């Protein structure tokens, strides 16, 4: 599982960074999205990988990292997803405005 | 609990509530919206001043003073807001800038687009939150809030130039935010905490297998802030963005670079100060040499700028570089002076961005390019100069010219104003690191810093002189700009603040020195946060 996750993060980051440096706005926004997926997975990985472990302690029950998974990275990922999603939407609007004003989808507004 | 303790949350809460409340109000009632937002900012300013007084008078080391437990969970588990001298100073500075900008925008610029005042209020909340928070992830949230508002503000007024600059600005900041998250999660993975005070404690006990991860996390986190602060080579976006923004927006953006500087200062002193064990001084040389390069790059940019907007943008870079290098030196006296410089240069930059627009109403856009080209190839029509003798300077131009001169004096650090005092304080710290009379060697980097500080002042003076002469002395026959009182008042207000800072340099400098001293003793900060009593618990006062 570690190998799959790390390879996934690596591929996502590499494609994201490559697309980020491309000259078309659409490529840039897809690059940013891929990058944010990679980051979200990375945050998740920083809480250590555990299968079938609940993040929330039952009322009255004892909690601990032996039986439970770390809940904080999951909370962080949720926040990061929400913020990242909102920012991508905003970027999309600016992208469209730029396309409308300049008539081209080049990031510099001219070919 | 003391009532002043509860004021800590208000600089964040009040602007958010105002911003939300203003959204449903019809855009045609702009003046009403502006007045409400202005009132909210005034209240935030008064609260900030109260908080600053409280922070200055707080007894050192009392647990819980200035610590606000959100949700009433004890410190390492719940998120906290922390007020100390540094954050209180930044709160007051932000509020002053915001007051000036809002007043200026109410003359006409707030009509250029929708929800201008809501966006400004959200930005105020985000910036204040970033200054007050004591938790890394909460910092990310406030940072994003501030950035989201700044995207909207940059695009305010629309148009091709702004949308293009906005596109680049948003892409760069989204990439930087990804780095921010990677850094935060690496630090969490290595140390198991996100609370800054708790991090300061745990940094000494991190095992060798996690230390590299932790330092890598801190470095990646640092890059995210250096992008914001505009360190060379991460700051190429800055002059283009700042000169594309509408004048009041550019003026308030002057505080954004300082948010990056603030966090770098806070984290490097807290995590990598003298008590940090093996990691002590981590990243300091990067800040020092990066800062020096930024000053150099900024100074060259200042000399090469043709338009005033770009000149101001490069002045922001010089100011950032000076502050970063001061943090990199890690010398307490220099940091005291650097804080004074931070306040003075931010006020000046804000005033200058507002002034540019008023001055440029009198001239056509091509004049700047022509001016610099003419300088390079020599004046073409030297005979015409005779005719201009005896032409009276109109009153408006006289006031604008005086403001311009004051900005030039402040930027170049000439006596008697605060720009000079700030540089003097920093040079004093550089030459007498152990106090007056104590012998201490001065390193090569410090000599470079000294010369760059002085040379960047010279560059600013040359550039400002050139622009000033072209604007005020040679274009008398141009149209005299119509300037409303509400537009010139904020500029005068900001410059008066600088003059006051110069007149009251003694008390101000004492405050800055005490701030620098408190920063160099992070154990006090850590102690206050970690032992903060919960509300309603016995022992809470």
Tokens 């003075």 belong to residue: B344
Cβ B7 vs Cβ B41: under 8 Å:
no
CA dist B203 to A92, B211, B214, Å?
41, 9, 9
Cβ B467 vs Cβ B311: under 8 Å:
yes
Cβ B97 vs Cβ B33: under 8 Å:
no
Measured between beta carbons, which residues in chain B are less than 8 angstroms from residue A97?
Answer: 155, 158, 163
What is the token pair recorded at B347? 């006020």
What is the token pair recorded at B298? 């900024």
Q: What is the average pLDDT across B445-474?
A: 89
Verify whether the Cβ–Cβ distance B171 to A91 is below 8 Å. yes
pLDDT surpassing 60 at residue B541: no
pLDDT digits (tens, 9 = 90+) for B97-149: 999 999 999 888 888 888 899 999 999 999 999 999 989 989 999 999 999 99
Residue A7's pLDDT band (cuts 50, 70, 90): very high
Bridge partners of B80, per DSSP, are: B69
Assess B189–A contact: CB distance below 8 Å, yes or no.
Answer: yes
At residue B540, the pLDDT reads 41
Long-range contacts formed by A77-84: CB under 8 A, 24+ apart = A77/A40, A77/A43, A77/A44, A79/B137, A79/B140, A79/B141, A80/A36, A80/A39, A80/A40, A80/A43, A80/B140, A80/B181, A81/A40, A83/B140, A83/B141, A83/B144, A83/B177, A84/A36, A84/A39, A84/A40, A84/B177
Q: What is the average pLDDT across B475-492?
A: 77
Phi, psi of B100 (to 5 degrees): -60, -45
Assess B188–A contact: CB distance below 8 Å, yes or no.
Answer: yes
At residue B485, the pLDDT reads 83
pLDDT surpassing 90 at residue B475: no
Cβ B196 vs Cβ B270: under 8 Å:
yes
Supply the ipTM of this predicted assembly: 0.94
Give the separation between CA B54 and CA B35, rounded to whole angstroms: 29
pLDDT digits (tens, 9 = 90+) for A50-107: 888 888 888 877 777 778 888 888 889 999 999 989 999 999 999 998 888 888 888 8
- End-to-end Cα separation, chain A, in angstroms: 45
Assess A6–B contact: CB distance below 8 Å, yes or no.
Answer: no
Write the residue in B141, B171, B184 that is nearest to A32 by C-beta: B171
Distance of CA B535 to the CA centre of its chain: 34
Give the separation between CA B464 and CA B51, rounded to whole angstroms: 37
Measured between beta carbons, which residues in chain A are less than 8 angstroms from residue B148?
Answer: 86-87, 90
Assess A83–B contact: CB distance below 8 Å, yes or no.
Answer: yes
What is the token pair recorded at B16? 């958010």
At residue B538, the pLDDT reads 46
Residue A63 Cα, gap to closest chain B Cα (Å):
15
What are the residues whose beta carbons fall under 8 Å from the beta carbon of B261, sequence distance 6 or more? B225, B229, B320, B323, B324, B327, B342
Write the residue in A36, A72, A90 that is nearest to B151 by C-beta: A90
Measured between beta carbons, which residues in chain A are less than 8 angstroms from residue B160?
Answer: 101-102, 109
What is the token pair recorded at B134? 């004591």
Tokens 């006596």 belong to residue: B415
The chain-wide mean pLDDT, for chain B, equals 85
């Amino acid at each position: 599982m570690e190998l799959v996750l790390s390879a996934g993060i690596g591929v996502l980051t590499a494609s994201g960074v490559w697309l980020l440096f491309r000259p078309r706005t659409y490529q840039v926004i897809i690059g940013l999205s891929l990058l944010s997926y990679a980051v979200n997975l990375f945050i998740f990985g920083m809480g250590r990988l555990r299968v079938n472990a609940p993040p929330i302690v039952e009322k009255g029950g004892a909690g601990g990292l032996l039986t439970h998974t770390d809940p904080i990275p999951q909370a962080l990922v949720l926040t990061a997803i929400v913020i990242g999603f909102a920012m991508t939407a905003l970027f999309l609007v600016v992208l469209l405005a730029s396309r409308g004003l300049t008539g081209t989808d080049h990031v510099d507004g001219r070919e | 609990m003391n009532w002043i303790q509860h004021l800590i949350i208000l600089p964040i809460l009040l602007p958010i509530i105002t911003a939300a409340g203003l959204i449903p109000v019809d855009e045609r009632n702009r003046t009403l919206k502006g007045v409400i937002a202005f009132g909210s900012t005034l209240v935030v300013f008064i609260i900030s001043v109260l908080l600053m007084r409280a922070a200055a008078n707080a007894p050192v080391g009392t647990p819980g003073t200035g610590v606000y437990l959100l949700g009433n969970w004890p410190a390492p588990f719940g998120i906290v807001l922390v007020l100390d001298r540094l954050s209180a100073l930044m709160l007051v500075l932000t509020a002053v800038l915001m007051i000036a900008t809002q007043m200026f925008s109410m003359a006409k610029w707030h009509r250029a687009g929708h929800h201008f005042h809501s966006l400004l209020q959200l930005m105020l909340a985000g910036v204040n939150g970033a200054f007050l928070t004591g938790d890394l992830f909460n910092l990310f949230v406030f940072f994003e809030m501030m950035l989201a508002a700044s995207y909207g503000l940059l695009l305010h007024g629309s148009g091709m130039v702004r949308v293009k600059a906005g596109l680049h600005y948003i892409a760069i900041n989204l990439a930087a935010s990804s780095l921010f998250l990677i850094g935060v999660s690496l630090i969490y993975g290595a140390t198991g905490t996100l609370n800054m005070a708790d991090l300061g404690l745990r940094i000494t006990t991190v095992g060798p297998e996690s230390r590299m991860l932790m330092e890598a996390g801190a470095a990646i986190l640092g890059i995210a802030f250096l992008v914001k602060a505009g360190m060379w080579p991460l700051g190429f976006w800055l002059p283009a963005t700042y000169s594309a923004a509408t004048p009041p927006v550019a003026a308030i953006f002057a505080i954004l670079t300082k948010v990056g500087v603030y966090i770098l200062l806070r984290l490097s002193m807290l995590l990598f100060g003298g008590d940090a064990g093996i990691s002590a001084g981590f990243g300091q040389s990067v800040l020092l040499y990066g800062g020096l390069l930024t000053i150099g790059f900024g100074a060259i940019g200042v000399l090469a700028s043709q338009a005033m907007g770009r000149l101001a943008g490069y002045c922001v870079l010089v100011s950032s570089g000076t502050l970063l290098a001061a943090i990199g030196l890690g010398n307490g006296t220099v940091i005291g002076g650097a804080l004074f410089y931070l306040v003075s240069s931010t006020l000046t930059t804000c005033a200058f961005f507002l002034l540019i627009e008023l001055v440029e109403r009198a001239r056509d856009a091509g004049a700047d390019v022509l001016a610099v080209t003419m300088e390079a190839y020599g004046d073409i029509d030297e005979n015409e100069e005779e005719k201009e003798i005896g032409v009276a300077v109109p009153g408006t131009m006289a006031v604008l010219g005086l403001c311009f001169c004051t900005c030039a004096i402040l930027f170049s650090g000439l006596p008697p104003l605060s720009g000079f005092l700030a540089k003097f304080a920093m040079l004093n710290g550089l030459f007498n690191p152990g106090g007056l009379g104590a012998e201490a060697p001065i390193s090569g980097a410090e000599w470079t810093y000294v010369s760059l500080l002085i040379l960047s002042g010279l560059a600013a003076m040359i550039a400002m002189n050139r622009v000033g002469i072209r604007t005020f002395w040679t274009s008398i026959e141009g149209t005299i700009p119509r300037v409303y009182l509400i537009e010139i008042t904020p500029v005068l207000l900001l410059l008066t603040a600088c003059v006051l800072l110069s007149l009251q340099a003694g008390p101000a400098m004492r405050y800055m020195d005490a701030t620098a001293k408190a920063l160099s003793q992070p154990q006090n900060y850590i102690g206050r946060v970690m032992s903060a009593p919960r509300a309603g618990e016995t022992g809470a006062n």
